[in-house]
Amino acid sequence: MRRKKSPSAEASGRTRLARSAASLLLTAFLIAPAAAYEAPLDPHSIREAYFLGQRNDEKMARFLDTYVKHLPPPEKGPYISEIQLLTPYAQVVDLSRQKTVGYSAQQAEQDYRDHGDTIRVRVRIEFTATYGLVEAQKATRSGTSPGFTLRPEDFWKQFKVGLSQKDQWVEPLDTYGEPTYSLFNPGATPPVMNGALVYVEWNAADVSSSPANVEVFTPDGQHVVATFDLEKLR
């Protein structure tokens, strides 16, 4: 004959089960990866980022390296060698490392307030043997024979840089760029343009704490994609 549990025993069992379930939920919450991408930054985070940048040591270098993707060269065409994405926190670190003399935590906070919360991307373009400083010109209808010309310093405007999340494009706030130069013989040979840096900024309020794709479209048809998981970046 099966013995029936008393009401008090059943209530005690339900209590133990409820406590076990609550304990499991709390454990899962504690070990689950938190969304680290922070915007806006509170004063404590700004100071923390400032002091990390002031260190300007290996720890700081390792931190910023997680915000950079180094890409393999293409078979032909321009080389998108590096894509960097900086969150508001990483931007404070990056600016602080550049101003290690006479730069205070108060100035870092003011610079952050002045700039606002943005996601900033930097794309490095390098010339190659098949896409260099010298650009071939096609023959024109008027009969002019083909020739060669130097690429203009704003050649980077032919490259499109975008950011997408969950197959949706995010509209940028600003896009700008600058040519880069190399010195074959410093002091004797004038600098020679060897590529460019393209910067694009987005409003941080428009970018969620989830994987983000930085997509680069080159004039010769390349489509280069670098993914940054904003759940894992500070």
Which residues, including other chains, have CB under 8 Å from residue 146's CB and lie 6 or more apart?
Answer: 136, 137, 138, 139
Q: CB of 53 within 8 A of CB of 96? A: yes
What does pTM read for this prediction?
0.81
pLDDT digits (tens, 9 = 90+) for 184-224: 666 667 889 999 999 999 999 999 999 999 999 999 999 99
Question: What amino acid is encoded at 28 in this protein?
Answer: A
Confidence check: pLDDT of 32 > 50? no
pLDDT of residue 191: 87
pLDDT digits (tens, 9 = 90+) for 78-92: 999 999 999 999 999
pLDDT of residue 37: 87
Name the least confident of 54-63, 110-119, 144-153.
144-153
Confidence check: pLDDT of 145 > 60? no
Confidence check: pLDDT of 114 > 90? yes
Which residues, including other chains, have CB under 8 Å from residue 132's CB and lie 6 or more apart?
Answer: 151
pLDDT of residue 46: 97
Confidence check: pLDDT of 164 > 80? yes
Mean pLDDT of 156-185: 94
Q: How far is Cα 213 from Cα 17, in angstroms, rounded to an integer? A: 43
Mean pLDDT of 101-113: 97
Name the least confident of 6-10, 66-70, 158-162.
6-10
205 or 34, greater pLDDT: 205
Mean pLDDT of 40-51: 97
Which residues, including other chains, have CB under 8 Å from residue 176's CB and lie 6 or more apart?
Answer: 198, 199
Confidence check: pLDDT of 29 > 60? no
Q: CB of 71 within 8 A of CB of 226? A: yes
Mean pLDDT of 51-64: 96
* Omega cis (within 30) before 152: no
For the chain, the C-alpha Rg in angstroms (whole number) is 26
Strand partners, 106: none
Structure tokens at 74: 């293409």
